[in-house]
């Protein structure tokens, strides 16, 4: 019986301490830095960049889909494959940058 009373007091004291430490943290607001002018311009231009990259990838796919494409030399095939991979990487980077700037803007 005595143990339950003492345990209850310790538990209540621990809860009070937790509440005291939580209050200052909840009152302070985390401020996100606003986008700089350059970042705002980049955010505005990214949809056009993404669209251009998607068109480029579609054109490369169309070229590679031609029946006589694979009759070309290995150098041409490797160059087109490299162009495709490069465009896909740039597209992924553009989407990532667009997402990060969009989150910072909101």
CB-based contacts of 69, cutoff 8 Å, min separation 6: 63, 77, 80
Stated pTM of the model: 0.66
- Tokens 């579609």 -> residue: 58
Question: pLDDT grade, residue 105 (50/70/90)?
Answer: confident
d(CA 16, CA 49): 54
Residues in the chain, how many?
Answer: 106
How many angstroms separate the CA atoms of 95 and 88, rounded? 11
Instruction: Classify residue 28 as left (phi > 0), alpha (psi -120 to 50) or beta.
Output: beta
Domain ranges of the chain: 2-105
Question: What does the pLDDT look like over 20-60, one tens digit per residue?
Answer: 655 555 455 556 678 899 999 999 999 999 999 999 999 99
Q: Decide if 60 contacts 83 (C-beta within 8 A).
A: yes
Architecture of 2-105 per CATH? Orthogonal Bundle (1.10)
């Amino acid at each position: 019986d005595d143990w339950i009373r003492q345990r209850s007091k310790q538990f209540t004291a621990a809860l009070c301490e937790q509440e005291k430490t939580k209050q200052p943290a909840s009152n302070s607001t985390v401020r996100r830095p606003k986008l700089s002018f350059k970042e705002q311009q980049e955010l505005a231009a990214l949809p056009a960049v993404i669209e251009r990259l998607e068109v480029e990838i579609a054109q490369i796919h169309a070229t590679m889909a031609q029946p006589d494409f694979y009759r070309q030399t290995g150098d041409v095939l490797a160059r087109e494959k490299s162009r495709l991979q490069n465009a896909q990487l740039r597209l992924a980077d553009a989407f990532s940058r667009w997402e990060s700037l969009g989150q910072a803007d909101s």
